[in-house]
Structure formats: C-alpha cells, structure tokens
Amino acid sequence: MSMRELSFAQALNEGMAQAMEADPRVFIMGEDIGVYGGAFGVTGELVHRFGELRVRDTPISELGGAGVAVGAAIAGARPIYEFQFSDFVSLAMEQIVNQAAKMRYMLGGKISVPVVFRMPCGSGTGAAAQHSQSLEAWFGHVPGLKVVEPSTPEDAKGMLLAALDDPDPVLIFEHKLLYKTKGHVPEAMYHTPLDKAVVRRAGKDATVAALGIMVQKCLDAAEILAGEGIDLEVIDLRCIRPIDAATLIESVKKTTRLACVYEAVKAFGIGAEVSALICESEAFDYLDAPIMRLGGTDSPIPYSPILEKAAVPQVEDIVAGLRSLVTKRF
C-alpha cells in the first residue's frame, strides 16, 4: 500500500470519505459537522462532496442525536455520530449504555447496532473543566460496547474503518491535541484491529502501557531514559474494551516491571484495570516491583494553562516515575 503523510484529522476525514463512497449506508451526524466542518475541522468539506442527507447537522441535543444514530443503526444504516466534545456524552448515556450496548443481548442476537461514536477528548486546549475530560474508562465498564483510543494517524483511519464494519457500537476517543499531528497513512482502505495493542518500542527494563497522546509522551520519556541506560518497552494499548491482555502479559513477563500512564483521573481509571489484569495473570509471579500508575490529578481540569498542564502527566513526570520504578523491588 502506498504511504503518504497525513494529519490525524485528515486521516479520519479520508477514512469517512472512503467509507461513504464504498457503502451508501454510511452517513455522518453531529453538531456543526456540515458547512462549519466540525468543531475541530475533522469533517471538513464532506458536506459538499456527499450532501446534507449524508452529512447531517443536528440540533444541540446529544440525547436526541445519539438516539437517532442508534435507531438508524438498528434499522440497517452505518451512522457515525460526532460529539463536539466527549464530555457531552453525559447527556447521551441512556442511548449508548442502556440502548446501544444492550440491544443485541436483549434480543438474542437477532439485531446488531453498528453505530460509531467519535469522541474528541482530553486537555491541553484551555477549554476548562467541562470540555477537557478523558472519560474512556466509563465505557470500558459496559458490556456490549467496544472502546478504542488511537494514538497515530494510521490507527485513526484504520480503527474508524474497522469500527464501521463492526456489528457492535464502537466509541472512538480522539485526543484533541493529536488532530494536527502527522504520520504515514496508507491511501487504500484498511482495517486496524479493535482488540490488539501494539509495541511501539521494545525494551527490557520495564513495560509502559499508555493510551492516546500519552503514547508519544512515553516514547519521548523512553528516549531520555535511554541516555541513562534505562531501556523501556512502550505498549500502545489502543483498545480499552476489549483489552489485549496477551500482549501486556508477555511484555511484563519479559521486563518484570509495569507502569500504566494515562491522562484520565488516576482513581478508577484504565491503570487500575491493567494492574488488576496483571495481578490476576501468570505475569504476577514475574514482577520485581509494585505496579505504578501515572494518571491525572484527582480534580477537574483547570482553566489556567499552568495548572492544566500540572493536572495530567507530562514527559518530565513520566521520566521521574519510570526512573524510580526501575530501582524499586518488593
């Protein structure tokens, strides 16, 4: 497959366009996704290519919009519903958690709900407490949903296309600071698995599991620590539900240490699930030190740029944490 460099946002846009060209059942819904092009410019010019029937601006009602998307999926369409900010999903929890996630089970597998929810998430834009959260762990708790968080433009497109072909509802969390990042993206249509983590950097001294924007921060930290003789293995989880236990277990058995790095509030987050997964597996006997969680502070995201940065792990925090981890023992 030929490779070009696209931004994360361009990769998503291309994936949606290719899916819409290939399958007339695919359409997009959301607030300001038409002529405005989306709150973060992801849908762009798609309304001019496919028209207002397939790129549908919705009223300011996440409950209503998500409900229409779920109903359309049950009726045989392949809708993509974009939340302006993932924080607003709290207004549509009924439709996602009580309807989309449970319909296949409650009707004995006679129907499917192939809806994709796109969720711009995370801090770093000065949008304050109600527009800057990382809520992926909420949905990892719900059977019937698939929950993913790509960290590269290539995965953003591939996971979107895989989600559109999946019979179950898929939530794609997209960190807002990643939209402008660039990387190689195949031009053809392709699928990135919705159940596989990937090792972004091989190492031997400790395993670092991360999500979204934290993957690159962990890779940057690994480069700094490599200069000190510390060799980190960085795993991009990519998938929250289902989580790829096998990749994590094999890595921890090799490195004997584990840190989980994520932007969401540390308590009850993805780091707790990763920690429990390892503790309940054969990898536990290989651990040489307690598992470390590096997550966000136990507070809403502040508006102040200085405090906002302090509320989530930065490269220097990861460096300090991992430097400490590799010296610890039970």
| Pairing state between β 182-186 and 170-175 | unpaired
| Catalytic residue chosen out of the listed positions 131, 149, 154, 233 | 131
- Give CB contacts under 8 A, 24+ apart, made by 41-48: 41/9, 41/179, 42/9, 42/12, 42/13, 42/82, 42/118, 42/179, 43/13, 43/16, 43/82, 44/9, 44/13, 46/13, 46/16, 46/17, 46/20
Annotated catalytic residue 131: yes
User: Any catalytic annotation for residue 308?
Assistant: no
Which of 62, 149, 154, 174 is flagged as catalytic?
62
Radius of gyration from C-alpha coordinates of the chain: 20
Torsions phi, psi for 240 (to 5 deg): -95, -45
Which positions are catalytic? 62, 131
